[in-house]
Chain A
Amino acid sequence: MNDQIIFEDVSKFYGEVLGVNRVSLSIPPGITTLVGPNGSGKTTLMNLMTGLVQPSSGTISVMGLSPSNSPELFRILGYCTQFDFFPRGLTGWQFIFDSLMLHGMSDADAFQLTVEAIERVQLGDAAGRKIAGYSKGMRQKVRLAQAIAHHPRVLVLDEPLNGLDPMARAESIALFQELGRQGMHLLISSHILDEVDRISDRVVLITGGYLIAEGSIQQVRQEVREKPMQVLIRCDQPAVLASKMFAINHCVEARLHADGRGVFLRTADIDQFYSMLNGIAAEGLVKIEAVAPADDDASAIYQYLIGSDGSAL
């Protein structure tokens, strides 16, 4: 079976409103995060992938299956939507159990898988209470539990960290990382860029229905050539190091760290930059303690490529 999720030239229009336009993507196993402002097309992309909406043009394949083949697709796929819906009057346990029955499990299997899912999301005794009395975080947990309960190979999570307190957020991220490490596909949309850095193997940036960039965060950052990369160098003589580095013409900005024991340098050619830095370190004039990229995170990429107003730059 093909282990990729593939979008080929996919467009979706809701009447005259653009959902996504000419998206081509190939997503391997691991954690992929969809990043973009509100209305950028993240949910449309997820709905297309899960067959809940049909593309206006193009083709989609989820591990070799067409999303229009929903009975087969939803055996291998779990979807946690952003909508806060639960059938009225049910407990968390009943909701997950009934969801498994809808997946076609027998009573015995559904019982066992419900226990397992509740343990995984650490819902605990609250599973026996009515969902109507749950906090927002617990409602997120029970939605997540129903999405993973049937052991899908692909998990699609629309804003799964919304409404979670820091502890629950950390637990969810740990669960995502564990599932990703085990070889599951996780496609997550999120606005919380700090957490995108922590959990993602890859990011997909989208705005206004157009794909802006995709790949690992470091790869994407290196491709943004018009924005010189910023590197933080911890050393004993930051001023000397800055003057040395300015001798090369691709170093465009230097800023001392607030504690005086480091310098932020911007460079248009990162390979040349590291080569020069090795030379300076070998000379022994400056004792270099640490070197780290300062703007190859999701937040910086988002700012460079999409901008704070949500329009692509």
Chain B
Amino acid sequence: MSVYKHNYRAYSGKITPAWTRVLVLAKYGFAEAWSSKITVGLFTLCLLPPIVFLFGIYLANNPLARALIGARGSQGQMIDAKYFLVILQIQSWLALAVASWIAPRLITFDLADNALPILLSHPISRFSYVFGKFIALFASLSAVTWVPCLLLFTYQSYSSPVPWAAANGQIAGGLLAGALIWIALLSILGLALSSWVKWRVVATGAIFGAVLVPASVGAIVTGVLRTKWGFLLNIPFMMSLLWQRLLGAPERGMERFSLPTGAIAAMLALACIICVAMLTAHIRAREVVHG
């Protein structure tokens, strides 16, 4: 037995709050997500529709510009809840493409490289790890959904010759709430599915599949059983209904299949619970034992 001097001193300085450590993981996530040129390309693509709609708002509020391009009629495009609903829908589906590209980059590399033991050998929990990745994905999706939508809303409020924002406050709230619900769902779904497959391309396909395949099954259920409840498996349909209601846009042609908001909320909550269970099962810091 050696004689120890016992002069080793452990660190005794101040410790930062736990939430700041999550931001370090979020920073890793951002770096990983944006290190790809495809991410930059997708993001650029996502900015094109808002530019088109920005031009539409400009024309709607500027009779002279309409005259210059030869647009007929004294009235321009009506800028209302329906107009913003179209913007939100386009941006939301582009967000699905962005999520299906970025989410696998955040998780599958770590799983394939066996990174979890070294990352979780710090004073952070599995929840913190997932939350850090969630922040990176959520913020990236925000940049293509509610941020451009609210910027367009702000521009319309500024450009309109009549007081517009106060009368259409529900649109701003609906844009924000609708986009937040959608990107939160996409983020947790993307991370959960990515945690199940180590191959990034498969994870990307799985995210698209998780949104579109149940919708097909729901359509079959609806057709065979002649019930509207099959649409509870149709995430795109449910989200469209939810966005219409949040923005106050009319539900034209969908009355027959209209679902209660409570049922939609319950289905989205169930999807989130399943995703959390998937993450709990797969985000673990242990080597895989075969045999």
Contacts and interface: CB of A to CB of B under 8 A. Distances in A.
B24 A98 contact: yes
Contacts of B18: 71, 104
B161 to A, nearest CB: 50
A17 B291 contact: yes
Contacts of B6: 29, 182-183
A105 interface: yes
Contacts of A99: 122
Interface in B1-38: 1-2, 4-11, 13-18, 20-21, 24-25, 27-28, 31-32, 35
Given A17-B289, A52-B285, A74-B122, A88 B8 contact: no
Please report whether the interface of chain B is mostly helix, strand, loop or mixed according to DSSP.
loop
A182 B4 contact: yes
A181 B117 CA distance: 28
B287 interface: yes
B244 to A, nearest CB: 42
Nearest to B8: A182
Given A83-B118, A180-B2, A98 B28 contact: yes
B11 A52 contact: no
A245 to B, nearest CB: 31
Contact of A81 (B2, B4, B117): B117
B121 A74 contact: yes
A33 interface: no
Contact of A106 (B13, B117, B125): B13
A88 B35 contact: yes
B7 to A, nearest CB: 6
Interface stretch (A146-154, A234-242, A290-298): A146-154
Contacts of A79: 117-118, 121
B32 A29 contact: no
A207 interface: no
Nearest to A153: B10
A140 interface: no
A181 B120 CA distance: 28
A73 B285 CA distance: 15
Contacts of B286: 14, 47, 52-53
Interface in B263-281: none
B123 A102 contact: yes
Interface string A59-101: 0000000000011111111110101110111000000001101
B216 to A, nearest CB: 35
B16 A104 contact: yes
Contact of B4 (A14, A29, A84, A103): A29
Contacts of A77: 121
B21 A104 contact: yes
B118 to A, nearest CB: 5
Interface of B: 1-2, 4-11, 13-18, 20-21, 24-25, 27-28, 31-32, 35, 109-110, 113-115, 117-125, 284-287, 289, 291
19 contacts: A14-B286, A29-B6, A47-B286, A50-B121, A71-B125, A74-B123, A75-B123, A76-B10, A87-B31, A88-B35, A102-B123, A104-B20, A104-B21, A105-B13, A105-B16, A106-B13, A109-B13, A151-B9, A183-B6
